[in-house]
Amino acid sequence: MATVSIEYWSLAGELERIPGVKVTGQVGRSGSFEVTVNGQLIFSKLQKGKFPDPKEVAEEVKNCIKNGHQGGKGGQQKSSYH
């Protein structure tokens, strides 16, 4: 099961529909709106300069799961989304 951590709760509904995903929330830095999959950052408003689009983020989460992403390793692995 992939753990998806979000700082932008309006994404929760979209992400909870993905099979094999456990959505958790946390308070982040002000204005950061970050999303991680198993510890890997896949979206940051601070980096992108825009709010996360729920459908785009959901697609990226699905891609991470499909590609067997295990996250971690100091953030060395990069997502195509950010």
Instruction: Find out if CATH 3.40.30.10 is the number for domain 2-72.
Output: yes
| pLDDT over 50 at 74, yes or no | no
Residue 79 has pLDDT above 60, yes or no: no
Cα–Cα distance for residue pair 18/6, rounded to 1 Å = 14
Closest CA to 12 of 42, 54, 52: 54
pLDDT computed for residue 27 by the predictor = 63
Distances 74 to 16, 41, 44, 50, 78 between C-alpha atoms, Å: 26, 10, 16, 25, 11
Predicted TM-score (pTM) of this structure: 0.66
Nearby residues of 70 by Cβ (< 8 Å), 6 or more positions away: 38
Q: Is the pLDDT of residue 82 over 70?
A: no
Instruction: Dump pLDDT digits (tens) for 3-60.
Output: 888 766 777 888 888 888 888 876 666 667 888 898 889 888 889 899 888 899 999 9
Domain residue ranges in the chain: 2-72
Structure confidence at residue 69 (pLDDT): 61
